[in-house]
Amino acid sequence: MPTKALTLRLPPELYASGQRMAQERRMSLNALLQESLAATVRADQQRKLFADFTQLGDDADACDVEYAFPAAAEVMLADASAQKEDAA
């Protein structure tokens, strides 16, 4: 996968701690930073998704999809009928 180069400025203490942690995990500092950023991005995406679903759950009327059941049934019955015709 292609990568982008990045210049990152860190306080010396943070850099040293990162180096130690990377050595303990037997990985490069670059790999440690990639792993950490990826975990942060995933956590943020999950937090946003949870917030969105929570907001939907707070307004049950807006989430009501029962009106679409007859149309969905019609499509499924049409698909089943077409499959029977293809099999015959």
Residue-wise pLDDT for 41-59, tens only, equals: 999 999 999 998 888 777 7
**From residue 3, how far is each of 38, 66, 67 by CA, in Å?**
14, 46, 47
Q: How far apart are CA 3 and CA 53, in angstroms?
A: 33
**Predicted TM-score (pTM) of this structure:** 0.60
Predicted pLDDT at 21: 98
* Predicted confidence (pLDDT) per residue in 8-32, tens digit: 999 999 999 999 999 999 999 999 9
3-state SS, residue 88:
coil
The length of the chain, given as a count of residues: 88
